[in-house]
């Protein structure tokens, strides 16, 4: 049963190009399936989350992270009475715009583009992917996703200024996104705040002692776990504490969002869209714990000196390839050379690099710059 404030597929604003109704899948289910079958989605398996495959292939990549976000988001959506089909489609598509080498790659591409008078934003790039780059249908370019999924791609984690982005006018930037889209941002946070602690521990870059000292939401469960499983291996006790941390984040998000909706008198999707702030929230206590966990990860994992060589390598490879193709556009694939006839060359080069997997960009670097 959907809550009154949930998005109903029968009220969808539809697709850019009208299509016949499917006999047994609704439009949001079809969008989910189109994302799963997209080339950009498949490429996520070879894109860095935190650890590149050159460091180890045991850790999460963009694809496994995306699956975890989808699972968490579906659970929360079901409890809040939201449209689970829409939530699943948004969770699965939320990271398709990420370039190779994780956040280091995104930061480098944005810096290079700003030097050329442009910028790179993975949400806006994801919209370009589903609107134009994916070629699967004879009748139209892109995946022809519903308005609600396209809107969620750009608005799930960021509020864009309509004055700075007139090209996004159709997405009503002065309104909040539906709860289904708002949920994705915090499901993403829950997924990586817990998963990155796990991968950091497995990589021997984080210790249980360090997490107990620096992550209150983790520490609070350690005494209970030690009492219940005193003879278990440390790794198994760690797993139990981390599981409880994840549950606390999910449980609190459900309860706090319900409370926020009641206090705000939210009854319809229109109420959600016109509200002054986002409504999917943690309680103040758990929000403070979330921020502390994120700060701990930045200080002890993401900026770890052990991972620094990988970041430096990523920046070097992306920067040198970007400058190479700017100087030698004839070395681009034919399809990208053709795109450069109608779009600025820096944007075309950026699009080409952003679509690459970690493996492929290494191959291109060896091919063009290590001959």
pLDDT in tens, 195-219: 999 999 998 999 999 999 999 999 9
Name, in order, each residue with C-beta under 8 angstroms of 41's C-beta and a sequence gap of 6 or more: 35, 63, 92, 93, 96
**Structure token digits, residue 66:** 């995306």
User: CA torsion, points 252, 292, 306, 359, in degrees to nearest 10?
Assistant: 40
Residues 315, 199 share a domain:
no
- pLDDT at position 57 is 62
User: Are 200 and 315 contained in the same domain?
Assistant: no
What is the pLDDT confidence band of residue 58, given thresholds at 50, 70 and 90? confident
- pLDDT of residue 270 exceeding 90: yes
51 pLDDT tier (thresholds 50, 70, 90): confident
How large is the average pLDDT for residues 81-105? 96
Q: According to the model, what pLDDT value does residue 371 have?
A: 62
Please tell me whether residues 51 and 126 are part of one structural domain: yes
Give the integer Cα–Cα distance in Å for 174 and 172: 5
Give dist(CA 28, CA 8) in Å, integer. 10
Q: Please report the pLDDT score of residue 1 as a whole number.
A: 87
Nearest to 74 by CA among 190, 244, 248: 190
Same domain membership, residue 250 and residue 343: no
Q: Are 177 and 86 in contact (CB under 8 A)?
A: no
Looking at the domain assignment, is residue 3 inside a domain? Answer: no
Q: What is the 3-state secondary structure (H, E, C) of 6-25?
A: CCCHHHCCCECCCCCCCCCC
Mean pLDDT along residues 303-331 = 94
pTM (predicted TM-score): 0.95
Inside any domain, residue 320? yes
Domain boundary among 274, 308, 342: 308
Does 54 score more than 60 pLDDT? no
Do 353 and 220 belong together in one domain? no
One domain for residues 280 and 353: no
φ, ψ dihedrals at 146, nearest 5°: -65, 160
Look at 7-16, 189-198, 300-309 and tell me which has the smallest mean pLDDT.
300-309
Tell whether 326 and 304 lie within a shared domain.
no
Task: Quote the domain boundaries for residue 247.
Answer: 9-308
d(CA 294, CA 303): 12
Tell me whether residue 349 is in a domain: yes
How many distinct structural domains can be found in the chain? 2
pLDDT band at 53 (very low <50, low <70, confident <90, very high): low
Kindly compute the dihedral angle of the four CA atoms of residues 119, 123, 127, 129, in this order, to the nearest 10 degrees: 80
201-205, 280-284, 342-346: the lowest-pLDDT one: 201-205
- The answer to the question of residue 68 being in a domain is yes
Whether residue 38 is contained in a domain is answered as: yes
Closest CA to 44 of 91, 85, 112: 91
Q: 1 in a domain, yes or no?
A: no
120-177: pLDDT as tens digits = 999 999 999 999 999 999 999 999 999 999 999 999 998 999 999 999 999 999 999 9
Of 308, 330, 345, which closes a domain? 308
Which of 267, 290, 308 terminates a domain? The answer is 308
Per-residue pLDDT, averaged over 59-88, amounts to 97
Do 254 and 268 belong to one domain?
yes
Q: Indicate whether 341 belongs to any domain.
A: yes
pLDDT at position 86 is 98
Rg (CA), the chain: 22
Mean pLDDT of 265-293: 98
Report the distance separating Cα 142 and Cα 135, nearest Å.
6
Which sign, positive or negative, has the C-alpha torsion 197, 198, 204, 209? positive
Measured CA distances, 353 to 66, 125, 196, 217, 370 (Å): 21, 12, 26, 38, 17
CB 250, CB 72: distance < 8 Å: yes
Tokens of 102: 């994780």
Q: Within this chain, do residues 191 and 331 fall inside the same structural domain, yes or no?
A: no
Say yes or no: 252 and 344 in one domain.
Answer: no
The rounded percent of the chain whose pLDDT value lies above 70 is 98
pLDDT at 90 over 60: yes
Does one domain contain both 66 and 87? Answer: yes
Q: Write down the residue that tokens 């889209």 correspond to.
A: 181
How confident is the model over 97-129, as pLDDT tens digits?
999 998 899 999 999 999 999 999 999 999 999
Query: Do 142 and 225 belong together in one domain?
Result: yes
Query: Does 170 reside within a domain?
Result: yes
């Amino acid at each position: 049963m959907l809550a009154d404030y949930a998005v109903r597929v029968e009220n969808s604003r539809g697709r850019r190009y009208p299509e016949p109704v499917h006999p047994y899948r609704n439009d949001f289910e079809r969008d989910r399936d189109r994302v799963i079958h997209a080339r950009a989605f498949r490429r996520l398996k070879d894109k860095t989350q935190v650890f590149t495959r050159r460091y180890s292939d045991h850790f999460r990549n963009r694809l496994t992270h995306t699956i975890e976000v989808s699972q968490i988001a579906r659970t929360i959506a079901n409890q809040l009475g939201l449209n689970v089909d829409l939530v699943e489609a948004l969770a699965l598509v939320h990271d398709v715009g990420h370039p190779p080498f994780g956040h280091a790659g995104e930061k480098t591409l944005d810096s290079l583009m700003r030097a050329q008078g442009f910028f790179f934003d993975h949400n806006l790039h994801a919209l370009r992917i589903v609107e134009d780059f994916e070629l699967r249908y004879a009748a139209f370019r892109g995946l022809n996703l519903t308005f609600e999924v396209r809107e969620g791609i750009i608005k799930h984690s960021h509020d864009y200024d309509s004055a700075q982005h007139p090209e996004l006018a159709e997405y009503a930037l002065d309104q909040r996104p539906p709860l289904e889209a708002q949920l994705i941002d915090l499901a993403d946070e829950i997924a990586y705040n817990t998963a990155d602690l796990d991968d950091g521990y497995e990589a021997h870059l984080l210790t249980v002692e360090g997490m107990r000292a620096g992550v209150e939401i983790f520490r609070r469960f350690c005494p209970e776990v030690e009492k219940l499983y005193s003879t278990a291996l440390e790794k198994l006790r760690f797993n139990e504490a981390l599981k409880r941390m994840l549950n606390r984040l999910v449980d609190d998000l459900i309860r706090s969002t319900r409370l926020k909706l009641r206090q705000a008198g939210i009854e319809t999707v229109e109420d959600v869209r016109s509200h002054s702030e986002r409504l999917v929230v943690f309680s103040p206590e758990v929000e403070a714990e979330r921020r502390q966990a994120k700060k701990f990860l930045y200080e002890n994992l993401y900026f770890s000196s052990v991972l620094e060589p990988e970041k430096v390598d990523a920046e070097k490879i992306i920067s040198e390839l970007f400058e190479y193709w700017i100087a030698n556009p004839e070395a681009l694939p034919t399809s990208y050379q053709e795109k450069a006839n109608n779009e600025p060359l820096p944007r075309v080069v950026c699009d080409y690099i952003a679509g690459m997997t970690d493996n492929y960009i290494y191959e291109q670097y060896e091919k063009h710059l290590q001959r």
